[in-house]
């Protein structure tokens, strides 16, 4: 069983914000693979099903980004899922808008959701799918940037970026993390045809 966690913040005021990119990808996977993410345990909304013949659990922690680690750790422990079988999807301001980067393990890079997960799991031994949202404009705080919605021109290509991230998760499940890295790292999904 692979646990696929999308990071974000609950509540309608946070829908379609940069910080909720992880939630968007989980919602896309749920819709396309017929997995209902409607169960609740340990302050996590989750659902189980199959993605490309791989048993998978999709999860969205409801404890807000900065406190998402412990609920996810409790869910993983309850279902006996090791951290190495975790794929965490999150926004990243250090990547240009539209870029994806898959990492096998590592530090938090200043991301509070990842910091919370590393603290709860006692290390960073899990796969991350980072979705580039770019840096804030001059004069805009990082918090305002990540909690802000995408501009109109970026919102127009957002669906293809979310679809690309969905494809990256499927590739990791089907052929492994290295194959996903080779296929998606460095690719610009914001280029319009």
Q: Are strands 2-6 and 54-61 parallel, antiparallel or unpaired?
A: parallel
Three-state DSSP at 80 gives coil
Positions marked catalytic: 19
Q: Report residue 1 as tokens.
A: 């069983």
Q: Are 143 and 25 in contact (CB under 8 A)?
A: no
Residue 38 has a CB neighbour count (10 Å cut-off) of 9
Picking from 133, 131, 130, the residue whose alpha carbon sits closest to that of residue 154 is 133
- Residue 63 is given by DSSP the state S
């Amino acid at each position: 069983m692979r646990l696929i966690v999308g990071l974000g913040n609950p509540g309608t005021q946070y829908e379609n914000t940069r910080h909720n990119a992880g939630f968007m990808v989980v919602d896309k996977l749920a819709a396309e693979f017929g997995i209902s993410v409607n169960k609740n345990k340990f302050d996590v909304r989750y659902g189980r099903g199959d993605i490309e013949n791989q048993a998978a659990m999709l999860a969205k922690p409801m404890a807000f980004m900065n406190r998402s680690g412990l609920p996810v750790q409790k869910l993983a422990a309850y279902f006996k899922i090791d951290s190495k079988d975790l794929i965490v999807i999150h926004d990243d301001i250090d990547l240009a808008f539209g870029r994806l980067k898959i990492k096998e393990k590592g530090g938090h890079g200043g991301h509070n959701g990842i910091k919370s997960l590393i603290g709860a799991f006692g290390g960073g031994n899990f796969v991350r799918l980072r979705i580039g949202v770019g840096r804030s404009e001059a004069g805009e705080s990082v918090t305002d940037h990540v909690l802000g919605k995408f501009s109109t021109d970026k919102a127009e290509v957002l669906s293809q970026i979310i679809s690309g991230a969905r494809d990256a998760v499927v590739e990791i499940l089907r052929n492994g993390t290295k194959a996903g890295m080779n296929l998606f790292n460095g690719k610009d999904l914001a280029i319009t045809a």
